[in-house]
Amino acid sequence: MLTETIEDVLIVELEGERLDGGNVDEFKKNIKPFIEGTSKMVIDLKQIRFVDSSGLGSILSCLRQMNAKSGDLKICGISKSVRVLFELIRLHRIIDILMRMTVAIALIISQLQGLVAEVMSMSGME
């Protein structure tokens, strides 16, 4: 798992070709401190070619944890075969899946800026 921070957004790049029962426990253990330490995260799946139900469940768990603390999680770099699986179980309807990391980062930043503007407007701070 490689990490990098760009514009206050944590990028987590998964290594290897699979996210499945054989490595999902390691994934959950390794990603937990990152989820606890940030509110804006992009998980880059560009190396992943296969995901099983336990892998999907672990990504969904990441989303739930980020949502619980009003954080934002995006997925990027997804292969066609993995995207088909996400669409089959309709995961693409509850988590933003973008092809490029730069687009995912820009979306998180623009959503944050929109939220700040809305809060300032509601509190009369404009």
pTM as predicted: 0.81
Write down the architecture of domain 2-122 according to CATH.
Answer: 2-Layer Sandwich (3.30)
- Which pLDDT tens digit goes with each residue over 81-111? 999 999 999 988 999 888 777 778 887 777 6
- What does the pLDDT average to over 56-66? 95
pLDDT, the chain, mean: 86
Closest CA to 54 of 90, 14, 87, 21: 21
- How many other C-beta atoms are found inside a 10 Å radius of the C-beta of residue 87? 12
Q: What are the extents of the domains in the chain?
A: 2-122
| Residue 7 confidence class, pLDDT cut points 50, 70, 90 | confident
Amino acid 112: pLDDT: 54
